[in-house]
Amino acid sequence: MRLSAFLLAPLVLASALAQAPSAPPPPKRIPAPGITLTDTERAELTAGAAALGRGLEALAGELAADARWRALLPDVEIFHKAVDWALRYDEFMAPKDLAYARTLLARGQERLGQLRARQAPWLDATGLVLRGHRSRLDGSVQPYALYVPAALPRAPQSTPLMVWLLGRGEKRTELTFMAEREAAPPQLTPRDVLTLVPYGRFCNATKFAGEVDVMEALAAVRAQYRVDAQRIAVAGFSMGGGSAWHLATHHPSLWAVASPGAGFAETPIFTKADAPNKEPRPWWERTLWQQYEATGIAGNLVNLPTLAYAGELDGQKEASDLMEAAMKKEGLRLERFIGPQTAHKYHDATKAALTQRLEELLAKGRDPQPREVWFHTYTLRYPESAWIRIEGMGRHWQLAEARATLHDSHHVAAQTKNVEAIAFPGLTAATVELDGQLLRVADMELRFHRQGDAWRQGPAPGLRKRPGLTGPVDDAFVEPFLFVRPTGRPLHPAVGTWVESELTAARQLWRDVFRGDVRVKADRELSDADIAGHNLILWGDPSSNALLARLLPQLPLTWDRTSLRFRGKTYPAEQHAPILVFPNPLNPARYVVLNSGIDFRADGYGNNALQTPKLPDWAVVDLRIPPGPRWPGRIADAGFFDETWK
C-alpha cells in the first residue's frame, strides 16, 4: 500500500499542476533585448563613447555664449547617444551593429572637431544627412534623417518637403534608425524634394511624444533650409500609413498633400477590440479612442488632396476602405492607388503612378487661405485648420464642427455644432455671421464666445477647457513636464509602495518607448521657473509630497490619513489612491497631475493602435489589486471633468 501511494503521488501532483492556471507571460519588452557583447567589445565601445561624451561636454562649455553654434550641438550628440544608450541598455541588436557603432563614434569625433573650429559642412551636404534636435518635452536629443536633393544648395527658390513616416520597428533604437537610413532611401522618393524622416521617438505611430517629435524635427528643418510652407507633404507606409492618417486629419492645413500607405485609421476595428475572446474595454477608454481616430473627422480632408495606397491583398487595405466610406459621407472623394495582387508592400508600377501624382500636387502647393474651411474635432488638443480655430466646446469627446466661408475681405459666415468659442486667426472682417447671428466686429481680433444662446465678441471668460488645457491625463505629456518626487513619509505603507512602483515604471516606460530621461525634482526643490514652464507630475500623497499638500485645498478632492473623498464618495485611504489631471492652481496655464505617467502599459506594446489614452481626467485606484499590463490597480471609478473643470 505504501508503494502504491508512493507511485500514485507524482500522478496526483502532475494532475494538480495540469489543472492549475499557468502564470501569465512576462510583459513584452520594447525594444527587444540585444545580443551579448564580449568584455573586450564593451570596453572598447565604452571608452570611445566616454571620450566623445567628454569632448561634447567641453565643447558645450566653449559654446555657452554662442547661440548660433551651440544650436548645432545635437547634430553631434546624436552619435554619442546612439552608442551610449546601446551600451547602457544592452540594445545592440545584431553583430553588425558593433562595427556601425565604431563608425558612429568616428563620425561624432569628426563633427566635434568641425564644430569646435566653427564649421558645419553637413549643412551644405546633399544625399543622406543625419541630424538631431533637442526636445522641449524632456531635454533629450533626438535624431532625424534628411535626404537632400543635389540641386537644393544651388536653388534660388524655396523647396518642397516631404515628411516620411516609418513602419513598425520594435528594434529601431537610435543606432539602428541611423543604420536603416544609410541602408536605403524612403519607399517614396519624389524628385527634387527635400525629405525628412523623423525618428518619431521610436515605435508609437507618431502619437504622444512621437507626434511632438515630428513637429519639432520639421520646425528644425524649416529653420535651417528654404522650405516652401505651401508645399509640404506627409506620407508613410504600414505603421507610417497609420501615422499619416492621424497627422493628415488632425493637422490638415499643414500639408499640401497626404499619402497614407496601408496602416490603420481607428482602433476598435483594426484591433478587433469587440471580438468574443477579448476583454471588454471600459467606456472611458472607448471614448478616448477618438483622440487619434481619423474616420470620425474625415471631413477635415476637404482641402487636403489625399492619395491612399494599399495592396489588393493587404489586410491593412481596410484603413483606406474605412476612410473612403467616411469621406463619402461628407461628400468627399478619396483618391486611391491599389497594387494589383499585392500584399503588404508597394507595387512597382502603382508606386510610380502614385509618385507622379504626389509630385504634381507638391508642385501645385496648397491654398494658404481657402475660401471654405471645414473642421471637426473631438478634443481641443487639435483645435484648428487654416483660418478656423475652435477655442471652446460644449462637451469634449462629442464631435465639434465648424464650417465657415470667407465671402470677401469683409465678411465671414460659419455654422457650428458643439462649439462654445471660436476664432478666425489671420483674417480681418467687418462682420461675422455665426449660426445665423450677425455681429459687427468691434476690433481686429476675431474671437467669439457663446453667452447663453447668443454669440459675443471676445474670449470666453473664466477657467475652461481650451487648447492646451483639455485633459485627459496623457495630455500633460505633450508639453514640457517635470516629475516631482516625494521626500516625506507616506500616509500608509501600501500607498507609498504603490507610488514608488508606479514612479519607477513611468520613468522606465518613457525611457524605453519615448527614448528620453524624465526630468525629476524633489518636492521641496521646485523653482518659480519650474512651475512656470512645466506641467507638474506630483507623485505621492499629502503626507509624502509637500507640493501636493500645498495644492490640495485648491484641488477637487480631500485626502487625509483616514479617507480619500471625491465626487461625494469616500474611499479608505489605506487602500486607495487618486490619479488626476487638473489646471495647476499656481499656474492655470499648465497642468498638475497626480500619480501617473503616460498611462498605456505593456498591453499596448504589441499594437500601435492600442497605444491610446487609457484613463480619462480622473480615476480612483483600488490598491488591493496589484498593477498589471493594462491598469495601475483596480479602477474603482473614473471619469471626465466638464468644460469648466467641475
| Closest among 59, 48, 139, 113 to 86, alpha carbons compared | 48
Across the strands, what pairs with 404?
Answer: 373, 414
456-460-461-467 Cα dihedral, nearest 10 degrees: -170
Q: Residue 78 in contact with residue 132, Cβ under 8 Å?
A: yes
- Rounded to the nearest angstrom, the gap between the alpha carbon of residue 114 and the centroid of all alpha carbons in its chain is 34
Residues with Cβ within 8 Å of residue 88, at least 6 apart in sequence: none
Three-state secondary-structure class, residue 64: coil
Q: What are the domain boundaries of the chain?
A: 25-121, 125-364, 384-457, 473-639
pLDDT in tens, 347-388: 999 999 999 999 999 999 999 999 999 999 999 999 999 999
Name the residue type at position 167.
Answer: G
Q: Residue 426 in contact with residue 445, Cβ under 8 Å?
A: no
Give dist(CA 640, CA 642) in Å, integer: 6
3-state DSSP of 566-579 = ECCEEEECCCEEEE
3-state DSSP of 286-312 = HHHHHHCCCHHHHHHHHHCCEEEEEEC
Burial 272-291, CB ≥16 within 10 A → b, else e: ebeeeeeeebbebbebbbbb
Give dist(CA 392, CA 356) in Å, integer: 41
Q: Give the containing element (helix H, strand E) for 159.
A: strand 159-165
Give dist(CA 212, CA 250) in Å, integer: 13
Domain at 125-364: CATH code: 3.40.50.1820
Q: Cite the DSSP H helix spans in 424-568.
A: 493-514, 528-533, 546-551
Residues with Cβ within 8 Å of residue 186, at least 6 apart in sequence: 147, 162, 164, 195, 197
Q: Residue 198 in contact with residue 213, Cβ under 8 Å?
A: yes
Residue 1, pLDDT score: 32
Residue 645, pLDDT score: 98
End-to-end Cα distance, the chain? 74
Name the residue type at position 368.
Answer: P
Question: What does the block give as the cell for 92?
Answer: 545592440
Q: Are strands 431-434 and 437-440 parallel, antiparallel or unpaired?
A: antiparallel
493-494-495-496 Cα dihedral, nearest 10 degrees: 50
Residues with Cβ within 8 Å of residue 431, at least 6 apart in sequence: 410, 411, 412, 438, 439, 440, 441
Q: Residue 486 in contact with residue 499, Cβ under 8 Å?
A: yes
Residue 152, pLDDT score: 82
Q: Are strands 576-584 and 587-594 parallel, antiparallel or unpaired?
A: antiparallel
Residue 491, pLDDT score: 97
Q: What residue ranges of the chain have pLDDT lower than 70?
A: 1-27, 154
Q: Residue 236 in contact with residue 166, Cβ under 8 Å?
A: yes
Give dist(CA 597, CA 408) in Å, integer: 48
Give dist(CA 82, CA 6) in Å, integer: 59
Residue 27, pLDDT score: 64
Three-state secondary-structure class, residue 344: coil
Q: What does the DSSP 8-state code read for residue 24? A: P
Residue 26, pLDDT score: 56
326 by Cβ neighbours in 10 Å (0-12 / 13-18 / 19+) ranks as buried
Q: Residue 297 in contact with residue 327, Cβ under 8 Å?
A: no
Backbone phi, then psi, for 137, in 5-degree steps? -65, -50
pLDDT in tens, 178-202: 999 999 999 999 999 999 999 999 9
Across the strands, what pairs with 165?
Answer: 236
